[in-house]
Amino acid sequence: MPIAKSSGTDSKSFFFRGLHQSILIGMASDRYAGWIGQIYSEGRYETGVTRRRHKVGDKTFNEETLPVESVREYFEHFPLLEIDYTFYRLLLEKDGKPTPNFHVPKSYRQHMKDGDFVLLKAAQIIIARKLRRGSAFVENENYLNADTFTRQFYKPAVEILGPCIKGIIFEQEYHPKNDRFPPAKLALDLDKFFSEIPKDSRYHIELRTEAYLADPVFEVLKKHGVGLVFSHWTWLPPLRKQFAKVKMEFFNSGKQAVIRLITPLRMSYEESYAKAFPFDKMINGMLDLEMIEDTVKIVNEAIKDKIQVKLIINNRAGGNAPLIAQKIAERFHSEKQQKLL
C-alpha cells in the first residue's frame, strides 16, 4: 500500500520538511529502489525503473533506479536534495553545446515546486588536482580554472535552477601524503580562484585532506565567505574535531552551513557501498553513534548563531539514509526536550 502523506515533521513516517526553520535535511542523491515503502510509494514506479550493472572495486551490483519524476514524492519528505550527477561532468562543452549532464538539472527542475531546493556538486574537473585516466592519475589542466567554472558550470546551472540552488559544493579529492602541497599554497590558489569567479553567497568547499584544514586556508575561506563543509568521510577526523579546528566558526557569507554524512570513518567507498547495498535497511555495526551526536552539536551551535544548516545524508553512512535522518531527528528532538525541562 502507498504510504500516507502528512505535512510538517513526522520522523517515524520519514517526513522531515518541518524539523526546524534552521535545518534543511536532504539526501545525497535520490531515486533508490531501496527506499520504496519509506520515501516512495509501493507500486507507483515499477514500469519506469531502470536497471544497470555497476562495478565497485572487484564486485558488481545490480542497481535499480526510479524515474526522475519520483523526485516529486521525494520532496514531500525532504526540502533539500543533493544532485551529484553534476560532479562527473561539466554542463556545457567549450563551444557552449550542452553536455549530457546539462539535461540532469533541467529534468529535475521540471518536477520541482516552490520550496524545493538542491545542493549542486561542482564538476570534479574544477577542483581536482588530478583526474583518473584509465589506470593512472594525470594532472588536471582545468584545476581551479575560473573561466571554465563560470562559463561551463555556474552560468548554465543558475540559468536552469536559479533560486532553487541552496548551495554549490566544491569537493576536492583526498591527497596522499607524498602528493600534498603546503596549506599556504592551497590558500593562494583558492584565493585567486574565488577572486575571479562570480560572487555568490552559496559556495562551500569540502577538503578531504586533513592537513589542509589549517589557518591559511580558513583565512581565505572567511575572506571570500566560502563555507567549509563538515564531512563525515573515510580519511577525515570526526566532525567534532573538524568543528574545533575552525574554532566553532561558520565561514559562509550567506549564513549557511553544510554537513555531509558520507561514510564511516576509516571505511573506503568500496567497502561502505558493498556493506550498504541495496540501501534498504540499517547495517549492524556500521552507524557511528558519535557521528549523530556530533551532527546535533554542530546543528545546535549553528542555530545559536542564526546559521541555516544543510544536512546531507548518504546511504553509505549506515546502510539507509532515511533511517539515519530519522535517528538524527529523534536525537535533536530529545535534546530539545531536555533543555525545556
In a domain, 14, yes or no: yes
Q: What is the pLDDT of residue 141?
A: 94
Q: What is the pLDDT of residue 262?
A: 98
State the total domains in the chain: 1
In a domain, 138, yes or no: yes
In a domain, 3, yes or no: no
In a domain, 161, yes or no: yes
* CATH number for the domain that contains residue 317: 3.20.20.410
Q: What is the pLDDT of residue 11?
A: 66
Q: Which residue type, as a one-letter code, is found at position 6?
A: S
Q: Which three cell numbers stand for residue 248?
A: 566553532
In a domain, 72, yes or no: yes
In a domain, 167, yes or no: yes
**Is this prediction's pTM over 0.85?**
yes
Q: What is the pLDDT of residue 321?
A: 98
Q: What is the pLDDT of residue 339?
A: 66
Per-residue pLDDT of the chain (341 residues; tens, 9 = 90+): 333 444 456 667 899 998 999 999 999 999 999 999 999 999 999 899 999 999 999 999 999 999 999 999 999 999 999 999 999 999 999 999 999 999 999 999 999 999 999 999 999 999 999 998 877 889 999 999 999 999 999 999 999 999 999 999 999 999 999 999 999 999 999 999 999 999 999 999 999 999 999 999 999 999 999 999 999 999 999 999 999 999 999 999 999 999 999 999 999 999 999 999 999 999 999 999 999 999 999 999 999 999 999 999 999 999 999 999 999 999 998 876 666 54
Q: What is the pLDDT of residue 194?
A: 98
pLDDT tens-digit readout, 51-83: 999 999 999 999 999 999 999 999 999 999 999
Domain extent at residue 298 = 9-340
Is the Cα torsion angle 93, 98, 100, 101 positive or negative in sign? Answer: positive
In a domain, 1, yes or no: no
CA-to-CA distance for 286 and 303, rounded, in angstroms?
Answer: 29
In a domain, 230, yes or no: yes
Within 13 Å, how many C-alpha atoms sit on residue 307's CB side?
A: 24
Q: What are phi and psi of 245, to 5 degrees?
A: -60, -35
By C-alpha distance, which of 130, 149, 151, 158 is closest to 192?
Answer: 149
Q: What is the pLDDT of residue 118?
A: 98
